[in-house]
Structure 1
Amino acid sequence: MYNILKVTLLFSLFSLFHIKAQYKSRDNIRLNYKKELDMYAEEYRNDPNTYLNKFEELRQNAISENYHDIAADCLYYKARCFYFNNKTDSSVANAERAIEEAEKYNIIYVKAKTKGLLALEFSRKGLTDRAIDQLEDALQMLPVGDHNNRALLSAMGIQIAFHGNDSQKEDDYSDSCLREARLSGNKTRLRSAYFAKGKMSLESENYVQAEAYFKKAAALSDPRDNFQNAHLHMAFGELYFKQQKYDSAISRQMNALKSAMIVKDKRLLLQIYNQLKKSYKATDNIKNYQLSDENSIRLRDTLDVLNIHQQQAVLRAMEKELKKSHEQEKNNYVMACAGALFILLFILFLFLKHYKKTQKLKNVFLEKEVLLNREQQKNKQLEGELRKDVLADLLSSATENHPLFLNKYKKVYPAFFETLDKLSSELTTEDLKCCAMMHMNLSAKEMAGYTYSSIRTVENRKYRIRKKLNLCSSVDLNKFLMNV
C-alpha cells in the first residue's frame, strides 16, 4: 500500500511539473511572437511590400497556436501596409477582417486602432466629418490607461484634421497625442507628436517654437527609419528656408534626399527636389537648380506614367462599379415599382374594407331605426298604462339597488330588452342593469350612488356598452336607450 501511494505521489509531481513546463513553453512562444510583431511594426514602413508576407506568415503561426490577438493585429498591420501603398481596396478589406476577428475574440485595442485606420481611408476620400466621427468612436473604445494606442489614434487624428484643413481639430489631436505619448513612454508616438506640433508652429510662423519641437523629434529619431527621417529633414529644410537660412536649408534637404532614396518613395523625392529648386534659386546656384529641375521632371514623368497605370486600374474598377451600379439601380427600380404597386393595392384594400364596414354600419343603423320606430309605439302604449304605478316602484328598486330591480324592469319593459338583445347578444346582466337605469334617464352620478360604485366605473361600463352596441361616439347613449 505504501509503495502504491509513493508511486502515485511521484506521478502527480511529474504531471504537475510537465504541465507547468508546457505553460512556460507556451508563454515563451507567445512572447517571441509578440516581440517579432513589435519589431515588424517598427520597420514595415520602409518596405511595406516585403512586410506583407512577414505579417501573413506570423499571422498563420499565431493562428496555429490560438493566439487570436496577435493574429488579428497582423491583419491590422497588413491593412497598414496596403494603406502606405495607396491600395485602398486591399487596405479596407484587411481592416474589415481585423475588426471582425477583434469583435469575435473581444480584442478591443485591435478593433479601435483598425477603426482609426478606416477613418484615415475616409479622410483620403474627402469624407472628413465621417472620418472624425469614426476616430472618436475608436477613441471611446479604449480605456483611459491605454496611452500607447490612444496616442496612435490621436496621431491619426492629426492627419485627418490636416487633410480636412481643420486647424482646431489638428491642434486638439496634437495636444492629445503629445499628452498620451508622454504617458505611454513610446518614443515613436512622442516623436510623431513633436513633429506634428512643430509643423503647426511652422504654419503659424512661430519659427522658434517650430525648431524646438523639430529638435525634440530629432532627438527621438531612429536612424533606421528613413521614411520618418526624410520628412523630419524636409521640415527642417522648410523652416530654414522661411528663415532665409538657405545653406542650412540645403543641407537638411540633401539629408532628406539621401533618406528618401533609401526608401525609394518617388513622390517624396519629387517634393524634396522641388524644395531644393527653391533653395538653389534663392542662392543663385543655377547649376544645382538645373540639376534638381531635371531630376524633378524625370520623377514627374515617372509618376505621370505611374498615374496613367493607376488611372487605368481605377477606370476599370469604375466601369465595373458603374455596371454594378446600373444593375443595382435597375433592381432598385423594379423593387420600387413592385413596392409602389403593393402599397397601392394595400391602400385600395383598406379603402374597400372601410367602405364595406361603413355600408354595414349604415345598414345596421337603418335596421335599428326601423326596430326603434316599431317598438316605440308599443312602448308608449304600455308606458302610458303602467307609468304611474310602476315608475315609482322601479325607481325605488333602483335607489335601493334591489336584486330584483332588473327582473322587475324586464317585466315592465320586455320590448326594451328584446331590442337590446337584437342589437347585441354580448350584454351582461350588469350591462342590462346599467341600460335600464339609463332608460330611466338616470345620470352617471345617480347610478354610481345607487350601485355603490364610482362615477368612473359607471362611465367605463357605459363605454363598453357603447362598443357592444356598435354606437359611434357622437351618439348620446342615454338618449339612444331612452328611445329604444
Structure 2
Amino acid sequence: MSCRQDSQNKQREDFDVSLSKKNTELQLSGQYEALIRLNIEYLKKAAKIKYKEGKGLCYLNIAGVNVSAGNYEKALFFFNKASKELQDSENTYHQATFYDDYSQYYSHLKQYDKAIDCNNKAFMYLSKAKKSSLSAKLLPRLYVNKGIYFAWKGWLGTSLKSFIKGNKLENSAYTNCMVGQYYLFTHQAKAAEPYIVKADELMLSYKTSDVESLWVYYTMGYYYSEINDNENAEKALKKALEINIKTRRTYSSHINGVYKSLAELYKKKNDGGKAYYYLKKYMEEENRLDAARVATMNKATEDFISEIKKDSDWHKNELPLFIALSTAAITISGIYIQKVIQKQKNKKTTLKQETEQLKDHVQNKILQEVIELVRKNDSSFLMKFKELDPEFINALLKINPDLENSELAFCAMLKLHFSSKEIAEYTFVQHKSVQQKKYRIRKRLNIPGEEDIYEFFDHLKR
C-alpha cells in the first residue's frame, strides 16, 4: 500500500512539474493555440490517472492565458472550473497557485483590494507547501505581484520592499524590470538605471522569452523617455511592438502601455502625426479592455444571482435573506459598474481633449509646411494643400469641374489669405497679373462683383 501511494505521489508530482514547465514555455513565447492543445492533452492524462487536481491545474492554465489576452469572461469560466477541481485539494502548492492566478485576474479588472486578498492567501498556502522547485519558483512572483498591487493602491513603501524581495529571490530580467519600473513610476530615473542595465544584460546573456524581452524593451523605452533620450526610447519601444506582433498579441493587455509611451514620445518630438496614431491605438486597446471588464462584472453578478435562485427548497423565513443577497449583489455590482463607466467617461474626455490637441497640432504643422511651399514657389504646394483641406478643392470643382491645377492653386493661396502683393512676389509675376487672375477666377466661379473674394472662399462649403 505504501509503495503504491509513493508511486502515485511521484506520478502526480511529475505531472505537475512537466505541465508547469511546458505551459510556461508556451505562454512566454505567445503560442496561444499550442498552450490550449497542451492543456487539453494533460486534461486527458489527468483523467486517465484519476488526478482531479491535475485537471484543476489545466483549467487554471487556460484561465491564465485568457487573462493575459484580455478575455476576462472566458477566464472567469475556467477559474470556476479550476475551483471545483482544486477546492478539496490537500496540496497547498495547488491552492497557492490558484490564488496567485486569481489575484492577477482581479488586478487586470483593477480590483486591487481583491487582488491583495488573493495574494495574501497565496502566501499563506505557499508557506505550508512542501519545498520544491515549483514552490521556489512561485515565491518571488508572489512578491512581485504584491508589489504591483500595492503600487496601484498607492502604498509605495510596501510596494518597493516587495519588488526588492522578489528580485533578490529570482534576479531575472523581469524582476529587475519591475524594480526599475517602480523607480520610474516614482520619477527616480537614477535609482532605476542599475536595474534596467541588469535587466538588459540578463536578457542578452540568457536569451529570455519573447514576453520577458518585450517587458525589458518597454521598461528601457520608459527609462530613456524619462531622461529625454528620445532616439533610444523610440528604438526600444519599437522593438517591444515587434515582439508583440511576433507573439500574436497574446499579451495584448500589456501592450497598451507601449502605445501610450510612443504617443507621449512623439508628442515630445513634435511629431503630431505619429503621436495621434499611437494615442488612437492606445484608446482602442483601453476601450476594448474596459468593455471586457464591465462585461465580466455583469456576467459574475448574473451567475451569483442564478446560483442563489437554483436553491428552490428555501423556507419562507429564509426568503428575505435571498432577496437581501440578490439586492446586495445587484446594488454592489451596479455601484461598481457605474464607477467603471464614470471612470471610462472621464478617461475618454481626457483622451478626446488630447486627441483634439494632437489633431490641431498636426493641422498647424501641415499649414506651416503649405505656407512655406507657397513662399518657395514649390510645385508640390497644391498636393500638400489638398492634404490640409480636401473639402475646399472638392467644393471648387463642384462649382466648375473644368478648373485647371494652376487655378486651383491660385484659389488655395487666396483661401490662405495671401495678399495680391505676396502672391506676385512668391510666383514671380507682376501685381497687375494677379489682379487679372482674380477677375478670371470670379467669372469661372460666378462670384458676385460686390462680394469680397477672400470672404467667398472663407465661407465656401461643399
Which category describes the TM-score, using the shorter chain as reference length? 0.5 to 0.7
Offset at residue 67 of structure 1 (A): 5.5
Correspondence 1:127 to 2:116: no
Specify the alignment match of 2:196 in structure 1: 214
Identity %: 10
The reply to whether residue 259 of structure 1 matches residue 246 of structure 2 is no
Secondary structure of 1:127's aligned partner: helix
Q: CA 1:159–1:60 in 2, change beyond 3 Å: closer, same or farther?
A: farther
Pick aligned residue for 2:78 from 94, 113, 120 = 94
- Tell me what 1:141 maps to: 128
Unaligned runs of 5+ in 1: 1-18, 183-189, 340-484
Tell me, what secondary structure is at the counterpart of 2:64?
helix
Match of 1:109 in 2: 93
Given the superposition, is the C-alpha separation of residues 42 and 155 from structure 1 closer, same or farther in structure 2, using an over 3 Å criterion? farther
Name the structure 2 match of 1:79. Answer: 63
Equivalent in the alignment of 1:291: 274
Question: Please, which of 162, 165, 175 is the counterpart of residue 151 of structure 2?
Answer: 162
Pairwise mapping of residues 380-399 of structure 1 onto structure 2 (< 5 A)?
A: none
The C-alpha deviation readout for 1:453-476, integer Å capped at 9, x for no partner, is xxxxxxxxxxxxxxxxxxxxxxxx
Corresponding position: 1:280 with 2:266: yes
Aligned length: 306
Cα distance change, pair 275–178 in 1 and its aligned pair in 2 (3 A): closer
Q: Is residue 246 of structure 1 aligned with residue 230 of structure 2?
A: yes
From the superposition, tell whether residues 43 and 101 of structure 1 become closer, same or farther in structure 2 (CA, over 3 Å): same
Give the CA deviation at 1:203: 2.7
Per-residue deviation, 1:302: 6.8
- Please tell me whether the aligned partners of residues 99 and 122 of structure 2 are also in contact (alpha carbons under 8 angstroms): yes
Answer yes or no: is 1:175 the counterpart of 2:137.
no
Query: Does the aligned pair in 1 maintain the 2:173–2:198 contact within 8 Å?
Result: yes
Alignment check: 8 A CA contact 1:227 1:259 kept: yes
In structure 2, the residue matched to 1:55 is 39
CA distance in 2, matches of 1:322, 1:113: 24
Counterpart CA distance in 2 for 1:205 and 1:150 is 28
Q: Which has the larger radius of gyration?
A: 1
Instruction: Measure the CA separation in 2 of the matches of 1:130 and 1:268.
Output: 23
Contact 1:116 1:153 in 2 (8 A): yes
User: What do residues 183-231 of structure 1 show as CA deviations (whole Å, max 9, x unaligned)?
Assistant: xxxxxxx333212211122233332331211222233336563333222
Gaps in structure 2 of 5+ consecutive residues: 322-462
Whether contact under 8 Å (1:43, 1:225) holds in the other structure is no
Indicate conservation of the 8 Å contact 2:180/2:196, yes or no.
Answer: yes
Verify the 8 A CA contact 2:267 2:275 in the aligned structure 1. Answer: no
Tell me which amino acid in the other structure corresponds to 1:191: A
Q: 1:216 is matched by which residue type in structure 2? A: K
RMSD: 4.2
Measured after TM superposition, the shift of residue 290 of structure 1 is 0.7
Task: Write the deviation string for residues 349-380 of structure 1: whole angstroms up to 9, x where unpaired.
Answer: xxxxxxxxxxxxxxxxxxxxxxxxxxxxxxxx
CA contact (8 A) 1:109 1:149 kept: no
- Aligned-partner Cα distance in 2 for 1:118–1:181: 22
Contact between 1:55 and 1:77, CA under 8 Å: does it hold in 2? yes
Q: In the TM superposition, what are the counterparts of 1:6-25 in structure 2 within 5 Å?
A: none
Contact 2:163 2:175 in 1 (8 A): yes
Letter in 2 for 1:130: D
User: Which letter does structure 2 place at the counterpart of 1:165?
Assistant: G
Deviations along 1:329-350, whole A, 9 cap, x unmatched? 99999535789xxxxxxxxxxx
Q: What is the distance in 2 between the residues matched to 1:98 and 1:326?
A: 21
TM-score w.r.t. the length of structure 1 is 0.52
How does 1:429-448 map onto structure 2 within 5 Å?
none
Q: Which segment is superposed worse, 254-263 or 326-335?
A: 326-335
In structure 2, give the amino acid aligned to 1:39.
Answer: K
How many Å separate the matches in 2 of 1:338 and 1:279? 57
Distance 1:193 1:76, change over 3 A: same
Cα deviation, 1:265-322, whole Å, max 9, x if unaligned, reads 55544432332233233333x3xx41342254256347646766x4885587378469
Seen in structure 2, the aligned counterparts of structure 1 residues 105 and 166 have a Cα distance that, compared at 3 Å, is same
Contact 2:72-2:293 within 8 A present in 1 as well: no
Counterpart for residue 343 of structure 1:
none
Give per-residue Cα distances to partners, 1:153-208, cap 9 Å, x unaligned: 223222322332221231232133123325xxxxxxx3332122111222333323
Matched AA of 1:153: L
User: In the alignment, is residue 196 of structure 1 matched against residue 182 of structure 2?
Assistant: no
Structure 2 counterpart SS, 1:106: coil
d(CA) in 1 for partners of 2:296, 2:136: 39
Asked whether the equivalents of residues 79 and 92 of structure 1 are also in contact (C-alpha less than 8 Å), the reply is yes
Task: Please state how far the C-alpha of 1:35 moved relative to its aligned partner.
Answer: 3.9
Amino acid of the residue matched to residue 211 of structure 1?
A: E
| CA distance 1:60–1:230, shift in 2 (3 Å) | same
Partner of 2:299: 317
Equivalent residue of 2:154, what SS?
coil
Is the CA contact (8 Å cut-off) linking 2:15 and 2:54 kept in structure 1? Answer: no
Normalized against structure 2, the TM-score is what? Answer: 0.54
Alpha-carbon distance in 2 for matches of 1:328, 1:27: 41
Residues 404-483 of structure 1 aligned to structure 2 (within 5 Å): none
CA contact (8 A) 1:56 1:78 kept: no
Contact 2:177 2:215 (8 Å CA) reproduced: no
